[in-house]
A and B are shown apart, each in its own frame.
Chain A
Amino acid sequence: MKKPLKPSDISKKSDCLCRIEEGELAPLPPPYEDFNQNIPTPLKAEKTGNIETSLDNTVAIGIPRPASKEEEEALIKQFLSGLQKLFEKENNWTFLQPLLLSLEHCARCQTCSEACPVFEMSGRQEIYRPIFRSEVLRRIYKKYIKPGGKLTAKFTGDIDLNWEAIARLAELSYRCTLCRRCASVCPIGVDNGLIAREIRKLFSQEMGIAPKELHDMGTIQHLKTGSSTGMTAAAAKDSVEFIQEEMEEITGYEVEIPWDVEGADILLIHNAGEILSWPENVGAFAIIFQAAGLSWTLSSETAGYDVVNYGIWYDDVQLSRVAVRHADIARRLKVKKIVIGECGHAHKALTVIADRLLTGDLNIPRESAMVTLENIVMSGKLKFDPQKNDFPVTLHDPCNVVRSMGIVEPQRRILKKLAPRFREMTPHGVDNYCCGGGSGFAIMSRYNFAEWRNLVSSRKKFLQILKAFENESPETPKYVCAPCSNCKGTIRDIIHYYRAEERSRLYYGGLVELTVNALAGMKKPIINFGDKPSWE
C-alpha cells in the first residue's frame, strides 16, 4: 500500500514522487482487458539525460536540472519573482481577480477530486488530485510572497521551496487538461484549472519554461511561418487546391475555395491541422458554404489560415499576439465576421478570451462554425438525406466549446436531424469529460507523454465512447463525431493505441463531414469506414 502524499512532499528528495503501478489504472471492459496492466513506459536515464523526471517519471516539458547550487538558487529566485508578478495588476491584470479568489477561498473540501477524470482514471494518484498542485502553489504564495508568511507558515500550511518543488510543480501543471470540470462542481467557485494555467504562465512568462510543442513549435512558429504545423501560406494554398479538386470528384460539381476576398461576409479560419490531417473537413466546409451561397473567404496571410492559439494554454502574451494577429487580418480583409472552424480551443481563445483584448476596429464579430452550420442545415435551402448517415453516431463535446462557451445545442440539432442513429455519451453537454488531449496534450508527445495521455488522461473518454456504443455489434462501424481538431487527434490516438478500429470498428470525424455526407445529390460519400477515402 502506497503512503499517501501530502502537498508538502513536493519538495521531498526522491527519484520519483509518484509511480503508477501495474493494475492501478481504472479497468477497461472487454475486449480491452489486455491493456489493464499497461502503464507509461518508465523513462531510462540514458534517454532523459539531465532532464527532470522526478514527479512521476513522465515528461511534458523537459526541464534541465541546474548544474550547480548557484544555478538552483537563481532558479528559485526567478520563480519567486514570477510568482510575485502573478499578483500584480501591471503583469497579470488578465487573470488577477480569478487567481486571487481561487487561491484565497478554497475550503479544501475535495469536491473537485471526484470530478477530475485524470485523478479518477489514474487510480486516484494523489499528485493528480486537482487540489494538490493548487495547494502547493497556495502554500508557497502564503509563505514566500505574503508579508510575514514565513512566521505564519506553520499555521497556514508549511512547505519548503527547493529545485525539486519548482520542477515538479512545473511538470504537474501539465498533468491537468484544463477541462475545468473541477471548477464547475466547486460549491464555492474555486477554479483549480485556472491555477494550473497560472502556474504554466509563471514558468513561461518569467522563466521561459514551456513545452517545445506549445512555444517554440507552437506560438513562435505560428507567428513566424503562419502555422503551428510549420505550413507556409504557399503550402496551405497548394494543399487547399488539391482538396478543391478532390471535392469536385466527390460532389460532381465545381467547388471554388476562395482566398483573400476583400469584403466577403465571412472569414473562415480552420485549424491548419485539418488541412494536413483531415482535408475532408476543409473540403466539406467549402462544399456546404458554396451550396448555401455564402459569401466567404480563407486568408493566406501569416497565421490567417491557422486559427489555433496555443497561448490559451500557457502564456497570456502569446495568446494576445496571436489573437490580435487574427483580428487584424479580418479587419484588413473588411469581412463582417470571423467564423471559427472545428477547433475547440480556438473557439474559446478568439471568441471568449480575446473578447477583452480586442478593442476598436479589431473587435470583429466572431462566430462558431457550429452556429453557421446549424443555420445552413435548418434554413431549408439545402436538401439532406439522413439515411446516408445510417450508422451509430455519438458526439464528443469539446470542453472549450460547451463548458467554456455555452455552445451546446446547435451541433445536437444538426445531428438529430441528419444522423438517425445518434446517441449521447454519459454525461454530455456542459458536464462532459475532456478527450484527454486538452490544454495542448493532443500535440505533446515527447518522451513518454503520449503514452501517459492515452493511458491516463484519455481513458475516461475511451470508456465513455465504448459505453455509448455498448449495444452495437463489434462489426458495426461507429462514428465518434468530434467537432474539434485537437479532440479528433486525441480520439484518433486512442483508437490507434487500443486498436479499437479492429476490435470495435470505431471511427471518428468532424461535424461538417456528417453534414455534407447527408447532403442530397453528392456523387460519393465523404465518410468512409476503414476503406480508402473516395477521393483516393
Chain B
Amino acid sequence: MGYYILTYLCLAVFITAVGRLMYRHLTIPVHLRWEIYPVQGEPADKVSYGGSYMEEMNWWEKKRKSSRVNEIFYMAPEILLMRGLWKENKRLWQMSFPLHLGLYLMLATFLLLSISSVSTLCGFAEDGGIMIVNGLSVATGWIGLIAGVIGSTGMLYKRLADRELRDYSTFADYFNIVFILIFFLCAFVAASTVDPLFNASRDYVLGLFSAGRAVPAYVPGRSLPGALTIILASLLTAYIPLTHLSHMFMKFFLYHRVKWDDTPNRPGSPIETAVKKNLEYRPTWKARHVDTDGKLSWREIASSAPKEMK
C-alpha cells in the first residue's frame, strides 16, 4: 500500500503544483503587449510572412480575423516534434527530441493503461478494443523507454561535453537529467526483465484506480527494478512542475499569453477593463522621477510630470 500512497501523494503534488502555476498565470495582471511576429493566430496569408492586422488601413474599423486553427497547426508539430528546435538547433534536437518523445510516450502509456484499467473496473469484456489499447500501450511503452534512455543519455553527454552548455548548467540541471535517465533505465530494465508486455504495469495502474483493492492488482515490490520504477516515476511526476522542466506545459503561456498575444485594447473590451484596474496600482519605485511613496496610482503618475521638471 505504501507504493500506492507514494504515487497518490506525488500525483497530489503534481496537481497542486500545476494548479498553482496555472492559477498564478491565469490571475496575473494583463501585461503590456510584447508580441513577436509571426503571430500564429493571424490568418494564414499573414502568418506566411509574419504580417499583422496593423498592416491594414483603419484596422480598428474592421472585424478582426484570427485563426485558432493556424495556432493548432503550428503548435501540434511544435509540441510533438519540437519543430522550433529542429529549425534552429539541430544538433541539440537530435538528443532533446528523443528525450521529450520518451516522456510524452510514457504519459501516453499511462493514459492507455488507465483506459484499460478503467474498462476492467467497469466490467467491460476484454474485446478487440481493449486488446488494441493494450497492444498500443506496449508499443508506446517500449518506444518511449528506448527513446527516453537514448535521449536522456545523449542530453547528459551534451551537457557535460559541450562547453557552451556546461558553463551555464547548474547542479540542478544535471540532477534533473540524471533523475530522468535513472528513471528510464530502471523502467527499461523492469520492462526487459519482468514486465515486457506491461501487464504488471497495467495491474499497478488498476490498483491505483481501486486503491489496491481490485484483483488482480499488482503487488508492488515484486521485483527491485519494478519497485524502483514506481518510486522514480511517482517522484518524477511530482518533481517536474517544481522545476523549469515545467516548460513542457508552461509553454502555453509563453506563446499564447506573451509571444502571440496581439489582442488589441478596444473600447469597452475586457482588456480595457483589466487595463483600467492595472492603472490603479500604486507603485513604490524610488528613483527621483517616479518617487511617490505609493501615494499615486499609475494613472496619476502617467499624467504627471517627473520631479526633474518641477
Contact surface of A with B, Cβ cutoff 8 Å: 4, 6-7, 78, 81-82, 85, 89-91, 93-98, 100-102, 104-111, 113-115, 126, 131, 135, 154-157, 180, 183-191, 194, 204-208, 215-216, 219-220, 223-224, 315-318, 320-321, 323-324, 328, 337, 351-353, 355-360, 363, 365, 367-368, 371-372, 374-375, 402-410, 429-430
> Please, how many angstroms separate the alpha-carbon atoms of A317 and B30 in the complex?
17
B16 in contact (CB, < 8 A): no
**Does chain A have a CB within 8 A of B127?**
no
B282 — nearest CB in chain A belongs to which residue? A90
**Structural contact, B54 and A405, CB atoms closer than 8 A:** yes
Question: Is B23 part of the binding interface, using a Cβ–Cβ cutoff of 8 Å?
Answer: no
Please state if A407 and B54 are interface contacts (CB–CB under 8 Å).
Answer: yes
B295 interface residue (CB < 8 Å to A): no
Q: Is the CB of A97 within 8 A of B25?
A: yes
**Contact A405 B167, beta carbon cutoff 8 Å:** no
Contacts of A318 in B (CB 8 A): 289, 306
Are the C-beta atoms of A105 and B58 separated by less than 8 Å? Answer: no
Q: Does A430 lie within 8 Å of B258, measured CB to CB?
A: no
- A207 to B163 CA separation, bound complex (whole angstroms): 36
Q: Is B55 a contact partner of A408 (Cβ separation < 8 A)? A: yes
Q: Across chains A and B, which 4 residue pairs bring their CB atoms closest together, nearest first?
A: A406-B52, A189-B254, A430-B50, A187-B84
Interface centre among B38, B253, B302, B306, by most chain A C-beta atoms within 10 angstroms, is B302
Q: Is the CB of A223 within 8 A of B82?
A: no
A189 near B258 (CB under 8 angstroms)?
Answer: yes
B110 at the binding interface (Cβ < 8 Å): no
Contact of B92 (CB < 8 Å), options: A97, A101, A109, A323: A109
Q: Say yes or no: A106 contacts B244, CB within 8 Å.
A: yes
| Total count of chain B residues near the partner, CB < 8 A | 88
Report the separation of the CA atoms of residues A95 and B30 in the bound assembly, to the nearest whole angstrom.
9
B60 interface contact, C-beta 8 A? yes
Q: CB distance B37 to A91 under 8 Å?
A: no
A-B contacts at CB below 8 angstroms, number: 277
**13 extra A-B contacts, CB within 8 A, seeds A91-B285, A93-B31, A189-B258:** A89-B29, A90-B281, A90-B294, A91-B284, A97-B31, A98-B34, A101-B250, A109-B96, A155-B171, A156-B170, A185-B87, A220-B306, A406-B55
Q: How far is the CA of A185 from the CA of B89 in the complex (A)?
A: 9
By beta carbon, the residue of chain A nearest B170 is A157
User: Which of A105, A126, A315, A356 contacts B30 (CB under 8 A)?
Assistant: A356
How many angstroms from the CA of A78 to the CA of B288 in the assembled complex? 13
| Chain B: CB-nearest residue to A431 | B50
A140 CB to nearest chain B CB (Å): 14
| Residue contact B265 to A351, C-beta cutoff 8 Å | no
Picked from A90, A111, A183, A409, the residue with its CB within 8 Å of the CB of B55 is A409
Segment at the A interface, from B142-150, B181-189, B204-212, B268-276: B268-276
Chain B residues with a Cβ under 8 A of chain A: 25, 28-39, 42, 46, 49-60, 78, 82, 84-85, 87-89, 92, 96, 163-165, 167-173, 175, 244, 246-247, 250-251, 253-255, 257-259, 262, 264-265, 267, 271-272, 275-276, 278-279, 281-290, 294, 298, 301-306, 308-309
Which B residues are CB-close (under 8 A) to A154? 171
Taking CB atoms, residues of chain B closer than 8 Å to A85 are 283-285
Please judge, given known A-B contacts A110-B89, A321-B302, A357-B32, whether A406 and B46 are in contact too, CB under 8 Å: yes
* Cα separation A153 to B298 with both chains bound (whole Å): 35
Contact (Cβ within 8 A) B52 A78: no
Shortest Cβ distance from A85 into B: residue: B285
A105/B250 contact (C-beta < 8 A), A91-B283, A155-B172, A223-B309 known: yes
Chain A residues in 8 Å Cβ range of B258: 97-98, 101, 189, 191
20 CB < 8 A contacts A-B: A81-B286, A82-B285, A90-B283, A91-B283, A96-B29, A97-B31, A97-B258, A101-B253, A104-B244, A110-B168, A205-B290, A219-B306, A220-B308, A220-B309, A321-B306, A367-B58, A403-B36, A406-B42, A407-B52, A408-B55
Known A-B contacts A98-B31, A109-B92, A220-B309; the reply to A408 vs B285 at CB < 8 A is: no
Residues of B within 8 A of A111 (CB): 84-85, 88-89, 92
Residue contact B285 to A180, C-beta cutoff 8 Å: no
Please tell me if the beta carbons of B34 and A406 are within 8 angstroms of each other in the complex: no
Chain A, residue nearest B34 (CB): A98
